[in-house]
Structure 1
Amino acid sequence: MDAPVAGQGAAPSPDRPYPPAAQAWTACAILTLGCVLAFMDRGILSLFIQPIQRDLLLSDTQISLLIGFAFAVFNALFGLPIARLVDSGNRKVIAAIGVIVWSTANGLCGVAVNFWQMFGARIGVGAGEAAVTPAAVSLLADYFPPHRRGTALGVVYSGMFLGAGGVLLLGGLIWRAIGDRLITVPLLGPLHSWQVILIGFAGLGLIVGPLTLLIREPVRRDGDLKAAGAVTVSEVGRFYRDNARTMFGHNIGFCLHNFALHAGSAWLPVILMRTQGWPLPKAGLVYGLMMIVLAPMGSILAGTLADRVVGRGRSDGRLIVAMAGAGVSAIASLAIGLFHDPVIVIPALMAFSFFAAFTTPLAPGALQDIMPNAMRGQATAIYVFWTNVVSGGTAVTLVALLTDYVFRDPLRTNLSFAIVSAAGSICAVLILAGTRANFRRLAAALARAHQARVDDAATLAVEIATA
Structure 2
Amino acid sequence: MALQSEAVPHRAASGAWTWPASSRAWYSVVVLSLVSMMSNIDRGIVNLLIGPIKRDLHLSDTAISLLIGLTFSLAYVLFSFPLSRLADTRSRKVILTTGLTLWSLATMLCGLAQSLWQLFAARALVGAAESVKGPCSMSMIADLVPHEKLPRAFAIYQLGITGGMAGALVIGGILLSMFAGMPPLSLPGGLVVRDWHMVLLVTGLPGLLLALVMLVSVREPKRRDRKSAAAVPLREVLSFLGLNWKFYAPLFLSIAVASVESYGLQAWRPMFFERTYGWGPERAGPLLGGAILIATPLGLFLGTLLAEYLTKRRPQDALLVACLMSYGLSMPLLVAMPLMPNPWLSLASGFLGFTAWSMTAPGQNAAIQIVTPNEMRGQISALYLFSISVVGGGFGPTAIALITDKVFHDEAMLRYALSGFTLMVGPVILLLIFSAVKPYALAYQRMQAGGSS
Is the shorter-chain TM-score for this pair beyond 0.5, marking a shared fold? Answer: yes
One-letter amino acid of the structure 2 residue matched with residue 319 of structure 1? L
Counterpart in the other structure of 1:309: 310
**Post-superposition shift, 1:158?**
0.6
Counterpart in the other structure of 1:167: 168
**Post-superposition shift, 1:314?**
2.7
**Post-superposition shift, 1:426?**
2.1
One-letter amino acid of the structure 1 residue matched with residue 132 of structure 2? A
**Post-superposition shift, 1:243?**
1.3
Counterpart in the other structure of 2:110: 109
Provide, for residues 210-232 of structure 1, a one-character-per-residue CA deviation record: whole Å limited to 9, x for no partner.
2222211111112xx77644311
Q: Secondary structure at the match of 2:109?
A: helix
- Using a 3 Å threshold, how does the CA distance of structure 1 residues 247 and 15 change in structure 2: closer, same or farther? closer
Counterpart in the other structure of 2:84: 83
- Using a 3 Å threshold, how does the CA distance of structure 1 residues 41 and 343 change in structure 2: closer, same or farther? closer
2:135 aligned with 1:134, yes or no?
yes
TM-score under structure 1 length normalisation: 0.90
Give the conservation status (yes or no) of the 8 Å contact 1:58–1:115.
Answer: no
Q: What is the distance in 2 between the residues matched to 1:280 and 1:137?
A: 33
Q: What is the distance in 1 between the residues matched to 2:131 and 2:344?
A: 39
Counterpart in the other structure of 1:198: 200
Give the conservation status (yes or no) of the 8 Å contact 1:53–1:63.
Answer: yes
Give the conservation status (yes or no) of the 8 Å contact 2:169–2:285.
Answer: yes
Q: What is the distance in 2 between the residues matched to 1:29 and 1:155?
A: 7
**Post-superposition shift, 1:434?**
1.2
Q: Secondary structure at the match of 1:48?
A: helix
Segment drifting more, 431-440 vs 68-77: 68-77
Q: What is the distance in 1 between the residues matched to 2:32 and 2:125?
A: 20
Counterpart in the other structure of 1:460: none
Give the conservation status (yes or no) of the 8 Å contact 2:173–2:281.
Answer: yes
Q: What is the distance in 2 between the residues matched to 1:299 and 1:414?
A: 27
Provide, for residues 140-199 of structure 1, a one-character-per-residue CA deviation record: whole Å limited to 9, x for no partner.
111100011111111111111211111211221222123133353765753111101101
- Using a 3 Å threshold, how does the CA distance of structure 1 residues 115 and 190 change in structure 2: closer, same or farther? closer
- Using a 3 Å threshold, how does the CA distance of structure 1 residues 296 and 183 change in structure 2: closer, same or farther? farther
**Post-superposition shift, 1:67?**
1.1
TM-score under structure 2 length normalisation: 0.92
Give the conservation status (yes or no) of the 8 Å contact 2:317–2:437.
Answer: yes
Segment drifting more, 26-35 vs 203-212: 203-212
Counterpart in the other structure of 2:258: 257
2:363 aligned with 1:358, yes or no?
no
Could you tell me which runs of 5 or more consecutive residues in structure 2 were left unpaired when the two chains were aligned: 1-11
**Post-superposition shift, 1:288?**
0.8
Within 5 Å, give how 1:320-339 maps onto structure 2: 320-339=321-340
Counterpart in the other structure of 1:215: 218
**Post-superposition shift, 1:382?**
0.8
Q: What is the distance in 1 between the residues matched to 2:71 and 2:13?
A: 43
Counterpart in the other structure of 2:96: 95
Q: Secondary structure at the match of 1:221?
A: coil
Q: Secondary structure at the match of 1:16?
A: coil
Give the conservation status (yes or no) of the 8 Å contact 2:79–2:128.
Answer: yes
Counterpart in the other structure of 1:241: 242
Provide, for residues 345-373 of structure 1, a one-character-per-residue CA deviation record: whole Å limited to 9, x for no partner.
12211112212223444332221121111
Q: What is the distance in 1 between the residues matched to 2:179 and 2:449?
A: 61
Q: What is the distance in 2 between the residues matched to 1:37 and 1:359?
A: 22
RMSD of the TM alignment (CA)?
2.0
Percent identity over the alignment is 31
Q: What is the distance in 2 between the residues matched to 1:324 and 1:201?
A: 36
- Using a 3 Å threshold, how does the CA distance of structure 1 residues 391 and 424 change in structure 2: closer, same or farther? farther
Counterpart in the other structure of 1:458: none
Give the conservation status (yes or no) of the 8 Å contact 1:154–1:300.
Answer: yes
Provide, for residues 111-138 of structure 1, a one-character-per-residue CA deviation record: whole Å limited to 9, x for no partner.
1222222111111111111111111111
Q: What is the distance in 2 between the residues matched to 1:394 and 1:234?
A: 29
Counterpart in the other structure of 1:407: 408
Q: What is the distance in 1 between the residues matched to 2:266 and 2:14?
A: 43
Give the conservation status (yes or no) of the 8 Å contact 2:310–2:318.
Answer: yes
